[in-house]
Chain A
């Protein structure tokens, strides 16, 4: 297993790129490519990563880089891999798509590549909205979040839909490896990228990448916010290897989502009712997908004052 100390010194994604200060995507890309190494060819669809990483004729990538349209990350990776195979080159094709390019626009192409089980690595940089075009809602935007297309008004406040469960969609293709990563957990991050590198077939790495302007937060808190997301269950670190799901980091005691929400301007308008609704969703999701058999349901962690007030919704979900 590689630790931080074993990572190479060389930057394959050089300094001088034009990402915002504290960018979670830049952090994830830099470290992913550090582990993946030189024998990699990168595809990036329309996203922030293509704007701050390559502005013609300049580029930050030191590995071959390719960019076409928004919706075809999966298809492009397949083509690249086929060409490398034909030429007898041992190169891994890696795609860095955003959440818009994976949850919504690139879903069909990704699904095709996953279904064919092409030997590529697909990385989804999930910052929970279309940040490059100016913060529009995507399928990955969580409940309650402000975006320019889900504004905060007097009647409706923020996004009314819950985050799409992409993990279940991807793993339904029975691919060899799917993992969720967070930059706030370096050892887990490195181990998963390293593992994906050594597996054959379609590998999907789902990275949680905070966006400073889109989440309206302090740039210094990029890493802290990912840690809080994991501690509160808003993001769960797990991997699915050949259909076997394993939680790789379980928070000792689940924290209330409120801690996580209040760090970010995009959630600051949320009413107590909405926060409770989101907390219910987090608990329900955990109990349904991530809970080990026999272990207690995690809704018990909700702060006492909230827990005592048994709502209709609570009753529906957990019985009287």
Chain B
């Protein structure tokens, strides 16, 4: 059995990628299952999806804990998630990254395929939806699926839901990424500390679950504690403000849904705190003097 785990962010299409891969396996006469895992996350938050492929019927219904291949749709996930957890010996990793495989630090040295799927998606699909492009890289890296059957599966899966034109473009994205994929070996230096969690005993829990502002070993809890949740990894683009053009109308400060744009009243200035920017682009769209430009977040 060949097991694949997809690490993506909500809205990048990890679920569709898992399904398209399963469909491609079925086209080649195999059995396959695909399913996602996510909590109450919003668009941009980390999600998981899984695919199992086998020549026999598949009875295993659990999540994939020891994958043969890990597909990472967004390299910003590497900073917070141990993507190679449970990877089988001899397994491989497919990453959407601008770096060469030799420059990517996964914590272990494994066969790694890298492709700049975001650029491919932006060029062909006009949106940072990297699922089909990364599947092209997957086909090249693992070789367990032919590019032709993958394209057929993408056309079927996307054509049914989004129309023929979109399906055609998505299969082109897969083909383009297939050609651009670089295969090598990753670095194995960093040690990723798993994020600590606040695990109180029942005596420590306040009555009714009502929390006051507090500090624990795992960081802040209670009112206002989301301030420690850095969400910059969500962004594909980020705003850059031209101070010369800015008239300090404060519309961007008013509209920003995140609080990325901070006003410093005593200096009469604005500051952009990229730690919280999800790259929606509302500020750039609404600026009356076009002083804000959106640029690629990770170069």
The stretch that binds A, out of B100-108, B178-186, B226-234, is: B226-234
Cβ-defined contact, B224 with A20, below 8 A: no
Cβ-defined contact, A4 with B250, below 8 A: yes
Give the shortest distance, in Å, between A18 (CB) and chain B (any CB): 5
B276 within 8 A of A: yes
Cβ-defined contact, A21 with B280, below 8 A: yes
B221 within 8 A of A: yes
Cβ-defined contact, B251 with A23, below 8 A: no
Assuming the A-B contacts A19-B42, A19-B257, A186-B254, are A59 and B280 also in contact, with contact meaning beta carbons closer than 8 angstroms in the complex?
no
Complex alpha-carbon distance, A218 and B40, angstroms: 22
Cβ-defined contact, B211 with A57, below 8 A: yes
The stretch that binds A, out of B75-83, B168-176, B281-289, is: B281-289
A30 within 8 A of B: yes
Q: Which residues of A contact B231 (CB under 8 A)?
A: 16, 18
Cβ-defined contact, A58 with B221, below 8 A: yes
Cβ-defined contact, B255 with A27, below 8 A: yes
A170 within 8 A of B: no
Cβ-defined contact, A61 with B223, below 8 A: yes
Give the shortest distance, in Å, between B178 (CB) and chain A (any CB): 28
Q: Which residues of B contact A31 (CB under 8 A)?
A: 254
B30 within 8 A of A: no
Cβ-defined contact, B209 with A15, below 8 A: no
Q: Which residues of A contact B275 (CB under 8 A)?
A: 15
A7 within 8 A of B: yes
Assuming the A-B contacts A14-B259, A56-B209, are A224 and B198 also in contact, with contact meaning beta carbons closer than 8 angstroms in the complex?
no
A62 within 8 A of B: yes
Cβ-defined contact, A21 with B224, below 8 A: no
Give the shortest distance, in Å, between A3 (CB) and chain B (any CB): 9
Residue A22 contacts which of B41, B45, B259, B281 (CB distance < 8 angstroms)? B281
Q: Which residues of A contact B265 (CB under 8 A)?
A: 9
Q: Which residues of A contact B223 (CB under 8 A)?
A: 59, 61-65
Residue B280 contacts which of A52, A60, A64, A219 (CB distance < 8 angstroms)? A219
Complex alpha-carbon distance, A220 and B282, angstroms: 4
| Contact flags B118-131 to A (C-beta < 8 A → 1, else 0) | 00000000000000
| Contact flags B3-28 to A (C-beta < 8 A → 1, else 0) | 00000001100000000000000000
| Contact flags B62-97 to A (C-beta < 8 A → 1, else 0) | 000000000000000000000000000000000000
Assuming the A-B contacts A222-B280, A222-B282, are A15 and B258 also in contact, with contact meaning beta carbons closer than 8 angstroms in the complex?
yes
Assuming the A-B contacts A7-B254, A31-B254, A220-B281, are A57 and B224 also in contact, with contact meaning beta carbons closer than 8 angstroms in the complex?
no
Smallest CB-CB separation from A58: which chain B residue? Answer: B225
B279 within 8 A of A: yes
Assuming the A-B contacts A7-B254, A52-B42, A58-B221, are A15 and B281 also in contact, with contact meaning beta carbons closer than 8 angstroms in the complex?
no
Complex alpha-carbon distance, A314 and B146, angstroms: 58
Give the shortest distance, in Å, between B125 (CB) and chain A (any CB): 13
Residue A30 contacts which of B40, B221, B257 (CB distance < 8 angstroms)? B257
A26 within 8 A of B: yes
Smallest CB-CB separation from B273: which chain A residue? Answer: A15
Identify which of residues 210-244 in chain A touch chain B, using a CB-to-CB cut-off of 8 Å. 212-213, 218-224
Q: Which residues of B contact A19 (CB under 8 A)?
A: 42, 257-258
Output the residue of A17, A18, A24 with the most chain B CB within 10 A. Answer: A18
Residue A59 contacts which of B224, B234, B264 (CB distance < 8 angstroms)? B224
A179 within 8 A of B: no
Cβ-defined contact, A220 with B211, below 8 A: no
Q: Which residues of A contact B251 (CB under 8 A)?
A: 4, 186
Cβ-defined contact, A62 with B224, below 8 A: yes
Identify which of residues 26-63 in chain A touch chain B, using a CB-to-CB cut-off of 8 Å. 26-27, 30-31, 48, 51-53, 55-63
Smallest CB-CB separation from B250: which chain A residue? Answer: A4
Complex alpha-carbon distance, A216 and B79, angstroms: 29
Give the shortest distance, in Å, between B136 (CB) and chain A (any CB): 25
A318 within 8 A of B: no
Assuming the A-B contacts A4-B254, A9-B263, A186-B254, are A18 and B45 also in contact, with contact meaning beta carbons closer than 8 angstroms in the complex?
yes
A11 within 8 A of B: yes
Cβ-defined contact, A219 with B226, below 8 A: no
Complex alpha-carbon distance, A218 and B279, angstroms: 12
Q: Which residues of A contact B280 (CB under 8 A)?
A: 21-23, 212, 219-220, 222
A315 within 8 A of B: no
Identify which of residues 124-181 in chain B touch chain A, using a CB-to-CB cut-off of 8 Å. none
Q: Which residues of B contact A15 (CB under 8 A)?
A: 226-227, 258-260, 273, 275-276
Complex alpha-carbon distance, A59 and B254, angstroms: 21
With A9-B265, A26-B257, A64-B223 already in contact, 11 other A-B pairs whose C-beta atoms are closer than 8 Å: A15-B276, A16-B227, A21-B234, A21-B279, A22-B278, A27-B256, A53-B226, A56-B209, A58-B220, A62-B223, A186-B255
Show 10 residue pairs from A and B whose CB-CB distance is below 8 angstroms, ordered by the A residue: A4-B250, A4-B251, A4-B254, A15-B258, A18-B44, A52-B42, A57-B198, A58-B228, A62-B224, A186-B254
Residues of B within 8 A of A (CB): 10-11, 40-45, 198, 209, 211, 220-231, 234-235, 249-251, 253-260, 262-265, 273, 275-276, 278-282, 284-286
Residues of A within 8 A of B (CB): 4-5, 7, 9, 11, 13-24, 26-27, 30-31, 48, 51-53, 55-65, 183, 186, 212-213, 218-224
Task: Please list the 10 inter-chain residue pairs (A to B) with the smallest Cβ-Cβ separation, ordered nearest first.
Answer: A220-B281, A22-B280, A15-B259, A21-B280, A26-B257, A16-B229, A21-B278, A15-B276, A20-B43, A16-B226
